[in-house]
Structure 1
Amino acid sequence: MEIKILGPGCPKCKALYKAVTETVEEMGVSADVKKVEKLDEIIEAGVMLTPGLIINGKVKVTGKVPGKEDIKKYIQQEI
């Protein structure tokens, strides 16, 4: 599973990265979690509001930090 956190490194982006890594660890899921901070890559992915969360190439969230329960739901949709 590939999970990308898109954002320039703002506090919300960091909070989303932390929440996703903690959730993946709690769930025991094997996932490659990457930060994408380059603006051209963020735009290319179709994310106009950061932070953005992409799981297996599908945009799940833009412009907010979802709660851990929502993150779990998004991960389960892709398992």
Structure 2
Amino acid sequence: MAGVGSFEKCRKQIESGIKRQMKKGENYIALDLPYFSGEDQKLTDDYIKQLEDRGMRVDIHHTDSSRYGKAYW
């Protein structure tokens, strides 16, 4: 699970994971983004919107203290 204040680390891991998955021919990536502090919430919401703007479908399954799910392209 994503930790408090770890948004940037999670975003970098997801971006490199997207590249790896695309290279392997996969069409999805797991997401685990922090949702603890107000700042994390805003950054996570903005990032999910950016993924959607890039044409990805984002399904969030866990919404308590983090946003956990998958992004598909």
Same fold, judged at TM 0.5 (above): no
TM range (shorter): 0.3 to 0.5
Higher RCO, 1 or 2 (CA under 8 Å, sep at least 6)? 1
